[in-house]
Amino acid sequence: MAGNIFKEEALEEKGERARMAAFIGAMAIEDLVKSTLGPKGMDKILQSAGRGHSITVTNDGATILKSLHVDNPAAKVLVEISKVQDDEVGDGTTSVVVLAGELLREAEKLIAQKIHPMTIIAGYRMAVDCARSALEMKVRNNKGDSEKFRKDLVNIAMTTLSSKILSQDKEYFANLAVDAVLRLKGSGNLEAIQIIKKCGGSLRDSFLDEGFILDRKIGVGQPKRIQNAKILVANTAMDTDKIKIYGARVRVDAMSKVAEIEAAEKNKMKEKVEKILAHGINCFVNRQLIYNFPEELFAEAGIMAVEHADFDGIERLALVTGGEIASTFENPESVKLGHCKQIEEIMIGEDKLIHFSGVELGQACTIVLRGASTHLLDEAERSLHDALCVLAATVKDSRVVWGGGWPEMLMARHVDELARKTPGKKSLAVESFGAALRAIPSIICDNAGLDSADLVSQLRAAHFNEDSSAGVDVITGAVGDMEARGIYEAFKVKLAVLLSATEAAEMILRVDEIIKCAPRQREDGM
Amino acid sequence: MALAFDEYGRPFIIIREQEQKSRVRGLDAQKANILAAKAVSRILRTSLGPKGMDKMLQSADGEVTITNDGATILEQMEVENQIGKLMVELSRSQDYEIGDGTTGVVVTAGALLEHAEKLLDRGIHPIRVAEGYEMASKIAVETLEKISTKFEYDVFNFEPLVQTCMTTLSSKIVGRCKRDLAEIAVKAVLAVADLERRDVNLDLIKVEGKVGGRLEDTELVYGIVVDKDMSHPQMPKHIEDAKIAILTCPFEPPKPKTKHKVDIDSVEKFQALQEQEKKYFDDMVQKCKDVGSTLVICQWGFDDEANHLLMHRGLPAVRWVGGVELELIAIATGGRIVPRFQELTPEKLGKAGLVREKSFGTTKDRMLYIEECANSKAVTIFIRGGNKMMIEETKRSVHDALCVARNLIRDNSIVYGGGSAEIAVSLAVEAAADKIPGVEQYAMRAFADALDAVPMALAENSGLQPIDTLTAVKAQQVKEKNPRLGIDCNDVGTNDMREQNVFETLIGKKQQLQLATQVVKMILKIDDVITPQSY
C-alpha cells in the first residue's frame, strides 16, 4: 500500500526511469524529423484522423510536429520549441528539434558514465555562451550596400528553398520572395503579402503581382473594369438592417401594416445605398453579404460591388488602397476612400478574380502560386512562407552567416577549444556539446546519401583554419567554399536554433520525476 | 462497533451503510496517514536546493508543466489521498503567506512525521508527541530570532536585495540569467514599494509573458503591458500624452436588465427607433470625445458601427480588456473606471505619456504598451522565452523572487540559508530537550533530528555525502559557535553562508517551522479515517 496518493490511472516515474522516458520520447521525435533535414531531406505524408482522412505532404518540421498526437511529455517540449521557432523566425523548425535531440543523445551517454545532470547542464551553459560568441564574431553584415544586401537575401532565400519542394525553381522563387519582402520597405509586416493558390499550370507559372488580388466575384450586371477607381471598403450589414436595440420586435395587427413596414425597411436600405453612393465611389467592397436588392441598386448606379470579402481581405485592401474600413455612412466628405488605377476581373486558370492594380501604397503585393495539385500548392505555400519569414527577419537584422554546416562546424571548433581549457567534469559536457553540433552536418550528409564520416572529418580539418568558409555542398557531394556557392543563412535563425534547442535540452535534463495525472474521462470515448 | 444499544437494549446503527465504507482506526490510521504524507514529501525532496531537479507533470488534459516550485508541483499532481491534500494545502499556505520555501516546508513536515512514527512504535501516545513538537517549535522559533541579523539596504543601494533574489533564483531553470532577473525583480518591487509603511502591494506588479525571443530579452516596463490590440486596424499605433477613458460599459445598444419588449406596430415607430439607435451610437462616441479623451479602453466589445465611428472621429480604442488589467491601468494612469457614459468627466481620465503597439514574431501578435504613466506605481515584468513551459516556469520563479524582495522590505531580519539555520535550531532544540522531564523529551529530540532533513537533502541533491557533510558542519557549528555554517551546495569552497551570500528571510523560515509543526500535529491527532468504499 506504499502510500498511493494519486488517482487510479495516474502514472509516476522516478529517477533513472523518468530520465529514460524523457530521453526516449525526445529522441523518437528527433528521429522522426531527422530525415527531412537538408536539401536532400525527404518528405512525410501526414494523414489526418478526422473525417475525410485528408492528406498533407510536407517537409516542414513544424507542420509535421504540429499534426502529431504526442503523449510523451518530453516529446511535447520538443514539439513546442519547434512551434515557437516557426512563430518567431519561421524557419529552422527541423534544425531546432534535431539539435535538441542530439544534445540529449550526448547527455544520455554522459549520464551512463555517472555524471550528474546538473553538471551536464553547467557544461552546456558554458558551451552555448562560447558558441554564441564564436558565431557573433563571424557574422557578416551588408546592410550598407543595398546591391550586396539583395544578393545576400537571394542567397538566403535560395538556401531555405533548396530543402523544399520548390528547389527545382529555387532561383525563380527566391527572386520572387525577395522582391515581395523588399517591397515592404523594412516594415516586416508579412500580412501585406498575400498568397493565392490556384490549381493548374506548373510551379513556374507562379507570379508576383504588384497589385492586390481579391478572390471574389463581381456582382451581376456591374461593370467588370474600372479605371481610376474610388473604393469604399466597408463592414456593414447589407442584407436587412436590423435594429440592434435589445428587445425590439415587430407586432402588428393587420396585414397592411406588415406591408408598410416591409416597404419602410426597403426604403431604409435604399437610403443606405444612396448614402453610400453619395461618397462618389465607383467600387464598393463589403465584408458582409450584399443581398440581391442592394446589389441591384448598385448595378443600376453602375458601381462595382463586391460582397463577402473575408476579414483579412478587407484589412489588406484597406491597407493597400489607403482607405478606411467604414461602418457608418453619415459623413461622406470625411471618410477616407481607397484609390487605385484600375480594377478588373481577371482569370487565373478557370477562376475569376478581382485584380486591383496601381494601388496607392506600394507595399502590398500578391503572390499567385500555380501547381499541379492542392497538396503541392499547400507545400509550396509553406515553403514560401518560410522563405518570406526568414527574409523579413533578415531585413530587420541584416547579419548573415554561411550555411551548409559551416556555422555548426565553427561553433563546434570553438566549443572544443573551450573543453580543452575547462577543468573538471564539466569539460566532458562541453565536449559533448561540440559533438552534438557536428551531428547536424553529418545528418545532412546522411540524408543526401553521402559518406558523412568522411565529409565531416574533412570539414573538421578544414575548419582548423581560422577563416575557413568550408561547408558541405550536398549537390556536388563534396566539401566546398560556401561563399563561392552562395549558401547563406540568416544569423537570427541560427541563433534562435542554438538557444532554444539548448534551453529545451536543459529543461528535459533537469527532470527527475514524471507524474502523469489520470486522463480526463471523455464521454464519447474518443 | 457501529452498532450501539439504547437504554432499552434495542440496537441502532451509528454510521449507516457500514459495509460500503472503509475505515481505518487507531494506530493504523496514524501510520497510514504518515505513510501518505511521507510519500508526498519524498517527491519534493529532490527539488530542494540549488542543485535540485525539476519535475515534469502532465495534466489530465495532456498539458505539460516542468517546474521546480514545490507549491506548483503539488498543485498540479492532483493528489487524491486526503492526507496528501493536507500537505498540498500546507505548501499552498506557505506560498500565499511568504511565496518562497514551499518545498522546504513540505520536506520538514515529512521528516517530522517520519520521526514521529518511530516514537509511535515505541508506544508513545501521539498527543504527547504532538505536545513535544509544539514545545520544540517554540524553542526553534526563539533560536531563529536569536541568530537572525538585520539586513541593511536602501533605495539607492539595492545590491544586497539583488543578492537575496539571486539565491532564490539560483535553484530554478532561469539560473542562467539570475542576475538580470533578480535586478528586474528588485527594481519592480522598489518601484511599487511604500517604504514609509514598509509595505509592498504585489498586485501592482504584473507579470506578463510572451513566447519567443530569449530569456535575456525579459524587460521591466514602467507601465502596463496588455495583450490586446487596437479595435480597428487603422487606428494610430502610437499615441503620445494619452488621456485614457477607462470604461466598463460596452459600445453597444443598451440592454436593460429588466425584461422588456419594444413593440413596433407602425412605420413611424420603426423609423423612430432607427433614428434613436443611430443617435445612441453617436452620443456614446461624442461623450468620450467631449471630455477630451484620446484613447478609450473598454472592458466589453464594440458594435461594428461604433467601432467605425470611433475610428472615424480619431479616437483609438481597445476592447475586451480584462477586469484585473483594467484596474491596473486605472491605478497606473491615475484614472477612474467609469461604468456609464453619462458619468464620464475630464477628471476621471487616466494619463499616460506614451501608448504604443508592439508586434512580435511572424504571426500577428501585438501587445499594447502603456508607459510613462501619471502614477508610476504599477510596473510590468515582461518575460520572453523559448517555449511556453519556460515562460510559465520563469513567471513562477520571478514571483518567488518578488515575494522574497517584498518580505525583506517588510521585515529586514534574515537568517542564513544553506541549511545553516536548521542545523543551528536543531542543536538548540537538542540542548533544550535535556532539560525537559517526561516523554516530551523524546519528542523534542525527534524534532531536532527531523530538522536535519533539510540540510541532508541539500547535501544529497548536491552530490555530497549527506551524513559526512552534515555531521562535519554540525561539529563545526558547535566548535566555532557560528550559526552561519551550512552546506556548500555550489562547491564554492567555504561553508560560511555569509560569505556565500545565501540567506533567507526570518519570517519565511519561522513560518516554515510553524506551519510544518501545525500540520504534523493535526495529522497525529487523527485516529479514524472513514472513506466511502465505492471510490
pLDDT, one tens digit per residue, over B321-331 is: 888 888 888 88
pLDDT band of residue A100 (cuts 50, 70, 90) is very high
Contact between A327 and B312 (Cβ < 8 Å): no
CA separation, residue A93 to residues A60, A163, A170, A389, B275 (Å): 7, 12, 20, 12, 56
Q: Which amino acid is at B296?
A: V
Residue of B57, B215, B263 lying closest to A249 (CB–CB): B263
Q: What confidence score (pLDDT) does residue A424 get? A: 84
B221 touches chain A (CB under 8 A): no
CA nearest to A27, candidates A120, A97, A131, A88: A97
Interchain pair B270, A264: CB under 8 A:
yes
Catalytic (active site) residue B294: no
Average pLDDT over residues B499-518: 86
- Inspect the interface and report whether the beta carbons of A507 and B176 lie closer than 8 Å: no
* Cβ atoms within 10 Å of A127's Cβ, excluding its own: 30
Highest averaged pLDDT of the listed ranges B145-159, B298-312, B455-469, B484-498: B455-469
Q: State yes or no: pLDDT of A368 exceeds 80.
A: yes
Distance from C-alpha of A121 to C-alpha of A115, rounded to nearest angstrom:
11
Q: A200 with A351: CB under 8 angstroms?
A: no
A100, A78 Cβ separation under 8 angstroms: yes
pLDDT interval class at A240 (50, 70, 90) = low
Residue B201: the pLDDT is 80
**% of chain A exceeding 70 in pLDDT:** 88
**Mean of the pLDDT values across residues B8-24?**
68
- Check if the beta carbon of residue B296 is closer than 8 Å to that of residue A284: no
The predicted structure's pLDDT at residue B209: 84
ipTM of the complex, rounded to two decimals: 0.74
- Residue B195: pLDDT above 50? yes
Beta bridge partners of B503: B416
Of A36, A63, A93, A160, catalytic: A93
* pLDDT single digits (tens) A40-49: 888 888 887 7
Nearest CA in chain A to B275: A243
Whole-number mean pLDDT of chain A? 80
Q: State residue B447's pLDDT score.
A: 92
Confirm if B437 and B411 have CB atoms less than 8 A apart.
Answer: no
Rounded distance between C-alpha atoms, residue B73 and residue A465, angstroms: 50
d(CA B394, CA B166): 13
Q: Which of A4, A6, A79, A88 to mutate to test the interface with B (most CBs of B within 10 A)?
A: A88
In the three-class reduction of DSSP (H, G, I as helix; E, B as strand; rest coil), residue A435 is classed as: helix
Residues 79-118 on B with a CB inside 8 Å of A are 79-81, 83-84
Query: Residue B15's pLDDT is what?
Result: 61
| CA diameter of chain B | 100
Main-chain dihedrals φ then ψ at residue A204, nearest 5 degrees:
-70, -20
Q: Is the pLDDT of residue A1 over 50?
A: no
> Is the CB of B77 inside 8 Å of chain A's CB atoms?
yes
Could you tell me which chain B residue has the CA closest to the CA of A70? B62
| B257-297 tens-digit pLDDT | 666 777 777 777 777 777 787 787 788 888 888 888 888 88
Whether B345 is catalytic is no
Partner residue facing B386 (CB), from A251, A393, A504: A504
Strand A325-326 relative to strand A225-234: parallel, antiparallel, unpaired?
Answer: parallel
Predicted pLDDT of residue B19: 59
Q: Do B261 and A249 touch (CB under 8 A)?
A: yes
| Alpha-carbon distance B499 to nearest alpha carbon in chain A (angstroms) | 22
Instruction: Retrieve residue A407's grid coordinates.
Output: 556555422
Residue B201: which H helix or E strand, with range?
A: none
Is the pLDDT at A212 greater than 60? The verdict is yes
A93 is known as an active-site residue: yes
Nearest CA in chain A to B360: A88
pLDDT at residue number B152: 74
State how far the alpha carbon of A177 is from the alpha carbons of A40, A189, A203, A206, B120, in Å: 22, 14, 14, 12, 77
Residue A268 scores a pLDDT above 90:
no
Instruction: Answer yes or no: are the C-beta atoms of A54 and A380 closer than 8 Å.
Output: no
| DSSP type of residue A399 | E
Contact between chains at B312 and A257 (C-beta distance less than 8 A): no
CB within 8 Å of A112: residues ≥ 6 apart: none
Specify the DSSP class assigned to residue A519. Answer: P
Cα distances (angstroms) measured from residue B349 to each of A73, B242, B245, B252, B342: 48, 9, 5, 21, 14
Judged by average pLDDT, the poorest of B5-19, B338-352, B369-383, B427-441 is: B5-19
Supply the DSSP symbol for A168: G
Pick the range with the lowest mean pLDDT from A357-366, B105-114, B189-198: A357-366
Mean pLDDT within A202-225: 74
Q: What is the DSSP string of A30-57?
A: HHHHHTT-STTPPPEEEE-SSGGG-EEE
A213, A342 contact by CB (below 8 A): no
Adjacency order of strands within the sheet including B413-416: B149-150, B413-416, B503-505
pLDDT band with cut points at 50, 70 and 90 for residue A526: very low
Q: What is the pLDDT of residues A283-304, one digit of tens each?
A: 777 777 777 777 777 777 777 7
Contacts of residue A284, Cβ cutoff 8 Å, sequence gap at least 6: A231, A232, A234, A276, A298, A303, A304, A305, A306
Would you say residue B533 has pLDDT above 70?
no
> Cβ separation of B281 and A328 shorter than 8 Å?
yes
Region B503-518 average pLDDT: 87
Cell, residue A404: 551548409
Q: Residue A245: is its pLDDT beyond 80?
A: no
* C-alpha closest to that of B372 among B396, B361, B356: B356
Position A433 pLDDT exceeds 90 = yes
The chain-wide mean pLDDT, for chain B, equals 82
Q: Residues 6 or more apart from A517 whose CB is under 8 A from it?
A: A6, A7, A10, B57, B58, B59, B60, B76, B77, B78
Please state the pTM of the whole predicted model: 0.80
pLDDT at A525: 44
Would the pLDDT of A3 be above 60?
no
Which member of A190, A243, A499 has the closest CB to residue B273? A243
A386 counts as catalytic: yes
Quick check: A400 and A394 in contact, CB under 8 A? yes
Q: Above 50 in pLDDT, residue A175? A: yes
B493 at interface of A, judged by CB pairs closer than 8 A: no
Q: What is the mean pLDDT of residues B50-67?
A: 82
Q: What integer is the mean pLDDT of A388-411?
A: 84
pLDDT computed for residue A333 by the predictor: 65
- B211 beta partners: B385
